[in-house]
Amino acid sequence: MTNSAMEGGQAIIRCLENEGVEYIFGYSGGSVIPIFDALVTTETKIKFILVRHEQGATHMADGYARATGKPAVVLVTSGPGATNTLTGIMTAHIDSVPMIVLSGQSVSWMLGKDAFQEADIFGMAMPVVKHSYLLRSSNEIPRTIREAFHIATTGRPGPVLIDIPKDISAGSCTADLHAEMDLPGYKLDASVDNGTILEIAEALAKSKRPLILAGHGAMISGAEESLKAFAEKAQIPVTNTLLAKGVFPETHELALGMLGMHGTAYANKAICECDLLLNIGSRFDDRILGKPELFCADATIIHIDIDNAEIGKMIQPQITCVADAKLALDELIPHVPVIDTAAWRKHLDSYKVKYPLKFKRKGSLKMQHIIDEFYKLSEGKACVATDVGQHQMWAAQFYKCDRRHNWLSSGGAGTMGFGLPACIGAAFGRPDDLHVCFVGDGGFQMTFFELATAALHKLPIKIVVLNNHYLGMVRQWQELFYEDRTSGVDLEGNPDFVKLAESFGIKGFNLRRPGDVKRVLQNALDYNDGPCLVNCEVEKTDNVFPMIPAGAAIEDMLIEPPKRKLEKPTGST
C-alpha cells in the first residue's frame, strides 16, 4: 500500500503522530528546515518546544521520558547542532532512557565531502546509542521511525538516532506511513524460565537474612506493585539504587533506602551482613560495589536482569535469570514462601536508630535542612529533578520517594547541567504535578539559559539553587584525600542568581538563614504564576556522609568525618 506523495518532512510529522508523540524538543537550523516547515504546513497536535541549546533539548526529552515512562523526541540541525546532543544522548544511554533523536544532515551527494555543517554524527554517537540510522531515501522514513520507537522502548530502553539528509526530508515520500518493520536481528524473549524461578524460591526459603536490591530495571519494567507484593509476602527488607528511588516506597517499614557510596549506613550494613541478595534490575555499578571481590562475599547472589550483557559483568551471581523484572516477580510470587525474618529486620531496625541520616540545624544554612524541609512541606509528593554533586546525594538521602517516576537524576553519566532542563521536560509531561529541581551553583550555570524556555511556557517549577560557591563534591574529595589542597573548585564570580532569574521574568527569592527556611520555601510553593527560583546561600564546606571511598570495601564506610588521614582513592570520583 502506498500513500499519495508528500514531502519527507510531512511524512516525519505524520509518523511521529502515529507513535503518539506530544512534544518535540529542539533547535532549528538549515538542514532541518523542511521538517520545521512541515510543523507549520501539516495539521498536527504535536507541540514544538524551542530550547536555547541542543544539550538542553536532550535533557528535557530525558526528563519527559523519565517522568512519564514514554519515549521522547529531539529535533536538531546538522554539524554542531547534532554534536551538541552527544552529552544528553550519553546520559540517556547509560541510564536506559527511551529517546528518539532526529538530526539534520547535509544533502546526500555531499556526505563525506566536508560540506557546510556536516558532521558524522552517526559515527560519533555509535558508542552511546542503542541503534542509529542514516536515511538514504525518503521512502525509508515510515519504516525507520516505526523501528526506532520499537527499539527505543522495548527490551532495555535507550536512545536511537536518525540522521536525515536535507534532500531526504525535502524529497517525495510515497511509502505507507504504517510500513512494516524489518528487524530480523532484533528478537525479544518474553518468557521466564520456570526452573530458574523455582531455584530462586528454594534459595530464598533457605535464607535467614535475605535482602532485595531494587534497581532501575525494576522501575523501567513497571514492577513497583509486584515488588511490593513480593517483599511484603516474603517479609524481605528492600534497598534501592539511586535511579530506583520510588520503585519501592522509601517510607515503607521494609525500606532501607539507597545503598552505595553515599547510601544510608543501614542499607550498606545490610549488604555486608545478608546471606542472600536478590538483585532485581540493577547492573551492579561501581557506586554500589565498593571492592567487587568483597561484595556480599559470604552471600548467595541472585541476579534478575533483562540485559544478558549485565549478567556476570561486574559480579558473578550463583543464580541468574535473564528476564523482564515484572514478569520474573509475577512468576516468583506464587512460589516464594513467607520467610521468618523477624530477627533480621529487628537487627536492621536497630541500625536505623543507631545510624540515622542527620544534620545540625544550628549554625550556617545546610543543604540537608532545605531539602528536608521541602520534603515535609510538599508531603513527599513532588517530582524531583537534581543536578550532580553533593546536593544530589543529600536529595537522595532526605527526599524520600514513594512513587515511581518521581526521581529524575543523572546516574551513570553524572551529567552536570541535567537538573533544570530535565525538570522542564517533566513539567511538560505531567503538567498537573508539583515539580522541583535541586541544583548546585556549578551545574546550574551549565544550562541556566533554559530558564527562558521555562519562563516562556510559564511552567510553575520550583528551582532551588543550593549555592555554596564551590564544586562541592570535588572539594570534599580534595579535603579528605588530598590534604585539603583545593584546586579548580572555587566558583568565585557566581552571578546574583535572583537577579539572573528576574532578567528572564522569573520570580526570585533569597534564603540565607536557617530560621527563614520554612517561610521562604512555603512562599515558593505558593507561587504558581510561572517558575520561581530560590537562591540558598548554604555552608560552603559541608561534606556528605555516609561515604564509601571509591575503590574501598563497603565495610570501610565512613559514617562521619574521619579523624585520620585517608589514602587517595583507587576508584573514580
Residue 116 annotated to the active site:
yes
DSSP letter assigned to residue 74: E
Residue 393 annotated to the active site:
no
DSSP letter assigned to residue 123: H
Whole-number Å distance between alpha carbons of 377 and 391: 18
| Strands annotated E in 225-332 | 238-240, 255-258, 276-280, 300-305, 319-322
Between β-strands 255-258 and 238-240, what pairing exists: parallel, antiparallel or unpaired? parallel
Query: What 3-state class would DSSP assign to 39?
Result: helix
Kindly name the residue from 36, 130, 166, 390 that is annotated as catalytic: 166
Dig out the grid coordinates for 76 from the structure: 536538531
Whole-number Å distance between alpha carbons of 295 and 288: 9
Residue 368 annotated to the active site:
no
Residue 381 annotated to the active site:
no
Kindly name the residue from 60, 90, 446, 473 that is annotated as catalytic: 473
Residue 390 annotated to the active site:
no
As to burial, measured by CB atoms within 10 angstroms (0-12 exposed, 13-18 middle, 19+ buried), residue 182 is exposed
Please, are residues 152 and 92 in contact by the beta-carbon 8 Å criterion? no
Give one word for 79, left, alpha or beta, with left for phi > 0 and alpha for psi -120 to 50: left
Kindly name the residue from 7, 54, 373, 537 that is annotated as catalytic: 54
Amino acid at 332: L
Kindly name the residue from 17, 19, 70, 117 that is annotated as catalytic: 117
Amino acid at 456: L
Kindly name the residue from 116, 126, 381, 567 that is annotated as catalytic: 116
User: Which residue intervals of 191-259 are DSSP H helices?
Assistant: 194-206, 216-220, 224-234
DSSP3 helix / strand / coil % (the chain, rounded to 5): 40, 20, 40
Please, are residues 72 and 65 in contact by the beta-carbon 8 Å criterion? yes
With CA atoms as reference, report the closest residue to 403 among 173, 175, 248.
Answer: 248
Instruction: Mark 498-510 as b/e (b = at least 16 C-beta within 10 Å).
Output: bebbeebebbbbb
Dig out the grid coordinates for 411 from the structure: 546516574
| Residues labelled catalytic | 54, 116-117, 166, 473
